[in-house]
Amino acid sequence: MVREFEQKRGDREVDNLFRVIENITEIKDTEIERCKQVGDQALNKANIDLAQALDICSCFGGLEETYKQDATIEDTRHKRKIVWDAFMDGVTAKYSEINSSFEVKEEELRKLYDDFEKKLLV
């Protein structure tokens, strides 16, 4: 049985092992170095991009602190709101005045036409 197993299989396992060792050696010699180079390039680019992003973020942080400390922005915003509210109140008052004036004129015209109609019938 052992002899039959050795004859059928022969040196296939040994040949397969040698091929695997050759493949591993080839990968170790060429592919690992290539992977390192590609990784280094990608990581360097990512590092540069991250440094730029951090610079931008720090600029925004500085601007935010500047505007938070500046109370005049809130004051001017409040003043603009007061002016806007006054403007809207004025518009509403003018609108109401125009509406009442229109109603008065409408009533006057109605009376005028009623008088004309009465005069025409007489």
Question: Both 10 and 50 in a single domain?
Answer: yes
The answer on 86 and 66 residing in a single domain is no
Are residues 66 and 80 part of one domain? no
The vertex-75 CA angle with 72 and 77, nearest 5°, equals 110
Q: What is the pLDDT of residues 2-25, one digit of tens each?
A: 666 666 666 677 778 889 999 888
Q: Is the dihedral of CA 74, 76, 82, 88 positive or negative?
A: negative
- Give me the pLDDT at residue 15, please: 79
> How much is the pLDDT for 33?
81
* pTM for this prediction: 0.35
Domain identity same for 14 and 4: yes
Regions in the chain scoring below 70 on pLDDT: 1-11, 67-71
38 with 82, same domain: the answer is no
Domain interval for residue 25? 1-70
